[in-house]
Amino acid sequence: MKIAFIGLGNMGGGMAANLVKAGHDVHAFDLSPEALARAKDNGCTTYTSVREAVQSADAVVSMLPNGAIVNSVYAADVIGHAPTSALLLDCSTIDVGTARKVADAASAAGYAMVDAPVSGGIAAANGGTLTFMVGGSPEAFARAEPILSAMGKAVIHAGASGAGQAAKICNNMILGATMIATCEAFALAEKLGLDLQTFFDISSKASGQSWSMTSYCPVPGVGPASPADNGYQGGFAAALMLKDLKLALEAAQGVGAKVPMGTRAEELYAAFTANGNGGSDFSAIIKTL
């Protein structure tokens, strides 16, 4: 397929490269010349505008920083410029309301669209092992699944438009809260005189087990390799975790849901990033404990 890919940052660059590896003709755009150069090295054809990239595309994939940019890019440069036969797939993490607004605008113009935010971080984006949570019609999902499968290990239909975003922010609220609890437990275990590898060996096989514990341990040299073993660089930036937690709290307020653990996690990550740690991996919050 001819696939336009819009947004080649830490996540998008690896995703576009995996589409090339799967045999697709990828037409890439980003505002960053460095990102475009990397995409070209990875086999993409690069363009200096979104409109050029989406011309004659069979599908358009976007990975953009926030809802305002997603809305602007689709309204100004994708809808009405890509063929109406093109499937639109937005993999950004944005608010549910904007996701539905953009999908409605696309549908009114004759396009099929899905919201397909991801879980897995930079390593999974590069390795093609992301999990996609997809919102859209069953027909649009059926068209999107083979494209997303080239970039991920799991592609799950969450429901109608916006459902992918809802699943993503709920998932990451769990992740933010459990990472803090995991960090607290390791800090306490150390102060109580436990060997941290021994504590990991116990808790990873007991009821304290979680993804934050067994797949993304926040302690250097303990468990599988994680950003903790690389000075808390790479992985999933604390600033992005804070963004997702804010989206979750906004959504909770909109529907009257009580989320005390999510609220506290947002407060702690807000304080952590305010101290200049926004670029560190979110597991680096263990340093505050």
Burial class (CB in 10 A: 0-12, 13-18, 19+), 221: exposed
Q: Is 168 a catalytic residue?
A: yes
CA distance 92 to 66: 7
Q: DSSP labels for 15-43?
A: HHHHHHHTT-EEEEE-S-HHHHHHHHHTT
Radius of gyration for the alpha carbons in the chain, expressed in angstroms and rounded: 20
Tokens of 281: 């991996």
Q: What are the beta bridge partners of residue 237?
A: 281
- Is residue 5 within 8 Å of residue 44, measured between CB atoms? yes
Burial class (CB in 10 A: 0-12, 13-18, 19+), 229: middle
Query: Could you say which DSSP state residue 230 is in?
Result: G
- Catalytic residue (one of 168, 205, 243, 258): 168
CA distance 50 to 239: 27
The whole-angstrom distance between residue 131's C-alpha and the CA centroid of its chain comes to 9
- How many CB atoms sit inside 10 A of residue 240's CB? 22
End-to-end CA distance of the chain: 49
Q: How far is CA 238 from CA 96, 115, 118, 248, in A?
A: 21, 23, 16, 15
Residues labelled as active-site residues: 168
